[in-house]
Structure 1
Amino acid sequence: MPWYLYIAIRHTFPKGKRLPFFTIMSVTGVVLGTMALVVVLSVFNGFGHAIREVVADTTGDLKVMNGRIFEGYEDKIDLLEESPLVEAAAPSAFGMVMLQTGNRPIVPQVQGIDLDAERKIVPLDDYIRYGDLEELDDDSLLISSGIANTLRLRVGDEVELYTPLMIQRLNQNEVLLPRLMRVAAVFETGFTKVDENTIITTLRSMQDLYGLGEGVHALKVKLKDGVDPEAAARELQGLFAPPFRVSTWLESNADYLAIIEFEKRMMFFILLIIVLVASFSIATSLFTSVVKKTREIGLFSSMGATSRQIIACFCLQGFSVGVVGTGIGFALSFALLAVRETIIDAIFSVIGGREQTMQFYFFSELPVHYKSSDLIVIAVLTITIATLAGLVPSIKAGLLKPVEALRSE
């Protein structure tokens, strides 16, 4: 080990002694800055990652649409499933209805599915909280947990469905009565956007409710593991003539993901200021250390130490503070995120607003996802800033003349 590295470590972390005050404060500043960066970036990464997963799980990897109702979807499904990229495909119809029980109405999104085909795309069985998925038929429906809570519905209750088709028939002097349907099961995906306002019916029921005949609005596509959705969408587009279009789930959620990415970048630069503030404490502390150790610096110079070695000695003190502070910061960040739900529950119990916050971000829990690239950037930047913070005082130490340094009182 070079002597200047050994001296730098011993000055910063003396063996068998209490840590110097400047070391404690400098390391604490780096720890706090690292924690802030890791926690915030991991949470924002969690939101983006969770959206990717839950949207792909609930809607499939790709959609095939033409902007209108189309029939003959069985042939198109066969065409898709012949592709080596595709695991399965399923028809889907969707729209809005008014659901009412007693005097309590609500206007949810409704989706009509072919249950057997849908199970190959979406893990519906994993989402069922109450009831039995096998009970779903043309006279029943699945309701999300949010609707069940809002309308106080349970499995077996009956509800009335009103559709836009009723208004159309009224214009033709016909009267359609509301459709009476039974709650077969309650589902919950963990994605608030779906759980708050969605019901599911059979495809035949949806076609009757909207007067679609044998038509559907879209085909959901699940890709095989490891297949890139964007590349697959471009290749599968060749199977369909306009106006049919193959799109990824990312396209329908691009705006929301872009907002999260923008917030993440802004928070990164804002929180980086914490590390910069910590660097000033490191620089100030090392300036003080240079003044206190002026005679020691003169002694090193008189014994043959070069200016570069003396600069390295004090610069490495900043480096060692950065390494130790970053390491502790990472460890505390991972520990903090591991118990994040307990902390969040405690905070919201005091300030309130949990439902509004979770509703905005569309998740019932705070997601976290660690990206190795972000962690590497945080570590490199933090250690670099801490090292540069020691550069100015180390240059001052390296420029001291041996005779003047030894004369210093």
Structure 2
Amino acid sequence: MFRPLPLFIGTRYTRAKRRNHYISFISLTSMIGLALGVLAMIVVLSVMNGFQKEMSGRILGMVPHAALSAEQPLNDWQTVAEQVLQHPEVNAAVPLSELEGMLTYKGAMQPIQINGIDPALEPQVSIIGAHMVRGRLTDLQPGEFGVVLGELSARRFGVRVGDKLTLIVPEATNSASGITPRMQRLNVVGIFKVGAELDGSLALIHIADAGTILKLQPGQVQSVRIAVNDLYLAPQISTALATSLGAGYRATDWTHTQGSLFSAMQMEKTMIGLLLLLIIAVAAFNIIATLIMVVADKRTDIAILRTLGATPGQIMATFMVQGTVIGIIGTVVGAVLGVLAALNVSELVGWVERLSGQQILSSDIYYVSYLPSDLQALDVVLICTAALILSFLATLYPAWRAARTQPAEALRYE
């Protein structure tokens, strides 16, 4: 079978046993270093994807994807919801009223964000119902001023279901002070735990009770909360809906409240990826050292090939093939091991925890008490492509040096 001369000789140099075992050792370490770099990048980025997906599911499953409101409280939110649901990307639309205040219990105080919800409709837009650890969402009844607290808030106050808290809400008045605190007793009817910061900053009450506290008319709500298919299209969808509803309507979405958190997570993933890419770069530099020593070891062979008619381009291509083969083998091995490790990292960590008897991610400290992994094909492709490009670039200088070898000079002392 016909094979080009550079490909034939380059692959033969790669698999042949050299007289200089040190060169073979350096070549092997280059492959291992490249494989370890690719493996580390795939596993680390998969774990970071897993954490980002887990936090997205928990946080964005609790906060509104988007909300539509007007300058005045909505008198007929059902009509707005019917118009909103006509959009193909909207899954659900439910009423929402929001207020901020301070919770106090036996001298302890804590700022809190309170959402007024309809317990019957809330499961359409929120995961709260699946994360109740005490009580039920349906225990929120109008007129009873029940409250569902996050697990962190309940722990800080030391309260349980049945205990009573005091909510302090600021109210603007015409007095000299301008703002007068207004108090409302709340009865704890449930506790939720989603494993995120919201466990300590969010509470839920019935939307009718929220309207009473906000001094709204019966049936009025502040906004309509919507859930969309694609979270990352929420800003465009909500803006388009607000425009279609007419003047006076405005839209808010999750990027206003949680956007900085997810931007920071994405930036962290990018920076760690660049740092791990240095491992691959170091392995690529080892390929340079390997090929330089191979060129020095094969000076006689190069001179003979040149006298037999091989062109400088063919000599250069020969050593580029050899270095590229090293890069391909290291990249493929690292990719296979990395994919296997990323798919089984949770089980591996669990095995280490059982073997050592220590929990790596304690649920008392971390929101996510296990190591999630989300392997993405695009990440694997980008990592392998970067490794192959660096490996190829590492072959250029040694191959160029080999092409410049003069036959007469190389054979002078042979």
TM-score (norm 2): 0.80
- 2:386 matched residue in structure 1: 381
Structure 1 pair 225–392 and aligned structure 2 pair: CA distance change class (3 A): closer
Confirm or deny: 8 A CA contact 1:160 1:181 kept in the other structure: yes
Structure 1 pair 121–335 and aligned structure 2 pair: CA distance change class (3 A): same
- 2:207 matched residue in structure 1: 203
Partners of 1:37 and 1:319 in 2: CA distance: 20
Structure 1 pair 49–66 and aligned structure 2 pair: CA distance change class (3 A): farther
Confirm or deny: 8 A CA contact 1:143 1:187 kept in the other structure: yes
- 2:304 matched residue in structure 1: 299
Q: Which has the higher strand share?
A: 2
- 2:261 matched residue in structure 1: 256
Q: 2:319 aligns with which of 311, 314, 319?
A: 314
CA displacement 1:355-393 (0-9 Å, x = unmatched): 77x57xxx6655544443333222222111111112111
Q: 1:8 aligns with which of 4, 10, 20?
A: 10
Alignment of 1:164-179 (within 5 A): 164=169, 178-179=184-185
Confirm or deny: 8 A CA contact 1:52 1:250 kept in the other structure: no
Say yes or no: does 1:125 pair with 2:100.
Answer: no
CA displacement 1:281-340 (0-9 Å, x = unmatched): 211111111111222223333444333232222112221222222223333434554426
Q: 1:145 aligns with which of 151, 170, 185?
A: 151
Partners of 2:93 and 2:236 in 1: CA distance: 17
Confirm or deny: 8 A CA contact 2:345 2:373 kept in the other structure: no
Structure 1 pair 136–408 and aligned structure 2 pair: CA distance change class (3 A): farther
Confirm or deny: 8 A CA contact 2:243 2:249 kept in the other structure: no
Amino acid at match of 2:223: A
Structure 1 pair 106–225 and aligned structure 2 pair: CA distance change class (3 A): closer
Structure 1 pair 100–237 and aligned structure 2 pair: CA distance change class (3 A): closer
Q: CA deviation at 1:178?
A: 4.2
Say yes or no: does 1:282 pair with 2:287.
Answer: yes
Partners of 1:84 and 1:121 in 2: CA distance: 16
Say yes or no: does 1:245 pair with 2:247.
Answer: no
Say yes or no: does 1:80 pair with 2:84.
Answer: yes
**Percent sequence identity over aligned pairs:** 24
Amino acid at match of 1:189: V
SS of corresponding position for 2:120: helix
Confirm or deny: 8 A CA contact 1:60 1:222 kept in the other structure: yes
Say yes or no: does 1:216 pair with 2:221.
Answer: yes
- 1:92 matched residue in structure 2: 96
Amino acid at match of 2:262: L
Q: CA deviation at 1:353?
A: 10
Confirm or deny: 8 A CA contact 1:31 1:328 kept in the other structure: yes
Partners of 1:94 and 1:216 in 2: CA distance: 9
Confirm or deny: 8 A CA contact 1:31 1:329 kept in the other structure: yes
Partners of 2:400 and 2:189 in 1: CA distance: 76
Structure 1 pair 41–408 and aligned structure 2 pair: CA distance change class (3 A): farther
Partners of 2:273 and 2:316 in 1: CA distance: 31
CA displacement 1:180-226 (0-9 Å, x = unmatched): 40333x22223x12123221111112223333344333211123579
Partners of 1:52 and 1:219 in 2: CA distance: 22
- 1:189 matched residue in structure 2: 194
Structure 1 pair 304–141 and aligned structure 2 pair: CA distance change class (3 A): same
Confirm or deny: 8 A CA contact 1:36 1:271 kept in the other structure: yes
Number of residue pairs matched?
Answer: 400
Structure 1 pair 226–123 and aligned structure 2 pair: CA distance change class (3 A): closer
Structure 1 pair 168–183 and aligned structure 2 pair: CA distance change class (3 A): farther
